[in-house]
A and B are shown apart, each in its own frame.
Chain A
Amino acid sequence: MARPDLLVELDRAALDESEAGEAEFDAALDRVLAQVGAEAAPEPELRGVVHERLRHSLAAGAAGVAGSANTLDNLTGLAGLAHAASGVRRGASTGVWARYGSKLIILAAGVAIGFVWGRAPSWQDEPARSDQTAGVPAAAAPAPPPAGDSEDPLAPAASAPPLAPEATARMAVAPAARRPATRAHALPRARPRAAQDTTENAESLRLVLEQLRKAQLFSRAGEHRRALAALDELDARVPLSVLQDEREVARTLTLCDAGHEQAATELAARIIQRTPDSAYALSLRESCAGRSELLEQMRGRTSNPVP
């Protein structure tokens, strides 16, 4: 196979050790690098695709709407389109985990952050320090904007995690997150035992969020067995009462992805029976569990509108 001319020129110039050869090599290298730049450019349509995804993600995150059908999971930054790119089709269940996974973690994180204000660890480094290039101090953390009062989804709005301090400060307050406020306010006067309880609860919440993220990533990467293992590990380490809804919904979606429809259906039914007004009702109905007659029968008992 004939080698492209510009690389042949580069090879030749590399072998010339004369002073003129140095200049020739630099020129040849610059031509090669210009080609690299053009080759590395994105496909033209990707700009619009990503823009749309951003709009929907930010709109869903700001509104806290349960089960936005267009919400695309991007917070963990991996493998979203890789499924499509890899040509593997895993059916609607994977799409549901991809669509609702981030919302699930957002709401779970909202509870965690409301519970122990401002102390939400992240397994994913927050790019917030990006302004900390040399001589460039970190950007000041912006004040939390009011959630959901902007019509433009790309207007500054409460954005979604990763769970780093800055993102924490701007986290959209999911309804569940408002519940623990009194507990957080009690912290300064807490007796040692209460303070210890809070620390232990914070650690539990951290573990839950960490394992939920892992399960999400594994599931999106098609590694369903590892996703379930992450949830099993979580159950072994943290009582199920901690963010039970989120954990069981995550397990339901993962079971769907893994092809365990029966188990997913049974678990989904238990969730809905326990919490008919669950914020995840739509997620569950759009999963493989939603195809069951049981969930169909229960559809009419819930107060969540089904679009």
Chain B
Amino acid sequence: MAPRGAANLSVHATFEELYHDHFDFTFRTLRHLGVPPAALPDAVQDVWLAVHRQLSGFEGRSSHRTWLFSIARNTARNIHRWRRQHDHTMPLSEDLPDHCPGPEQLRAGREALLLVQEYMATLDEERRVLFISQLLEHLNAAESAQLLGIDTASVYHRVRDLRRGFKRWLVSRQGKDGGEL
């Protein structure tokens, strides 16, 4: 995972610098936003094509990560919209688990990913963006505030609500599964 505040690039960072520092970030963001795994390579390529197109106009009014997150968010939206329009009935995230025991070789990380994606599927788009930007990708509060058009204090409050919501959801889920998650 890209460390917080990675590569304190100037507003004039080159495409290559951004790509080197933030490729993984954009990929993860797309994945968290529910882009199906099979579509991820194309989706991340779309993101970076857009970056290439728009980079010369980037004026540094947001951080690079905020900007890249926005591009990824728009790309994911487009993909979801297209899938809905063309009757793709698969869940928006093909990683959504069922509640039956999975293969034994599932690793802890894989199960964790599935669990978190299942929870995020219960959130509206704004809360999902906040969950991803704050809890998964560790943008700072100002960056998330800018993404969502809210103030920094609201970011803190809403993140706390998300954590409590996740806890309640887990408890509820445990109840449905007879004590197992």
| Residues of A bordering B, CB below 8 Å | 1, 3-7, 10-11, 14-15, 25-26, 29, 32-42, 46-47, 49-51, 53-54, 57-58, 74-75, 77-82, 85-86, 124-125, 127-137, 139-142, 154, 156, 159-160, 166-167, 170, 217-218, 221
Contact = CB atoms under 8 A, between A and B. Distances in A.
B48 A37 contact: no
A142 B52 CA distance: 11
Contacts of B31: 40
A137 to B, nearest CB: 7
A54 B146 contact: no
Contact of A77 (B75, B145, B166, B171): B75
A129 B49 CA distance: 14
Q: Which of A15, A34, A139 has the most CB of B within 10 A?
A: A139
Interface residues of B, number: 77
Nearest to B50: A127
A103 to B, nearest CB: 14
Contacts of A170: 53
A10 to B, nearest CB: 7
Contacts of A14: 167, 170-171, 174
Contacts of A139: 54, 57-59
Contact of B39 (A47, A58, A82, A159): A82
B128 to A, nearest CB: 14
Interface string B122-137: 0000000000000111
A135 to B, nearest CB: 6
A128 to B, nearest CB: 6
B82 A32 contact: no
A159 B77 contact: no
A77 B110 contact: no
A51 B26 CA distance: 14
A25 to B, nearest CB: 6
Contact of A41 (B27, B102, B181): B27
A50 B23 contact: yes
Interface string B91-121: 0000000000110101111111101100000
B13 interface: no
Contact of B111 (A4, A54, A75, A82): A4
A170 B135 CA distance: 37
A132 B74 CA distance: 11
Contact of B52 (A5, A39, A159): A159
Interface in B128-178: 135-137, 145-150, 163, 166-167, 170-171, 174
A227 to B, nearest CB: 11
Chain A facing B: main interface SS: helix
Closest 8 pairs between A and B when the two form their complex, measured CB to CB: A139-B57, A134-B149, A4-B108, A39-B109, A130-B70, A77-B46, A82-B38, A14-B170
A3 B102 CA distance: 10
A53 B82 CA distance: 23
Given A3-B181, A29-B163, A127-B70, 9 more contacts: A40-B113, A40-B136, A54-B49, A78-B43, A79-B38, A81-B42, A85-B38, A127-B54, A133-B62
A133 B41 contact: no
A15 B37 contact: no
21 contacts: A1-B104, A10-B170, A11-B170, A11-B174, A26-B163, A35-B108, A36-B113, A37-B137, A38-B109, A41-B27, A47-B23, A50-B23, A50-B45, A51-B19, A58-B49, A75-B46, A128-B54, A130-B73, A131-B70, A134-B148, A140-B57
Contact of A37 (B28, B55, B101): B28
Contacts of A37: 1, 28, 136-137
A135 B166 CA distance: 30
A6 B112 contact: yes
A42 B104 contact: no
Contacts of B163: 25-26, 29
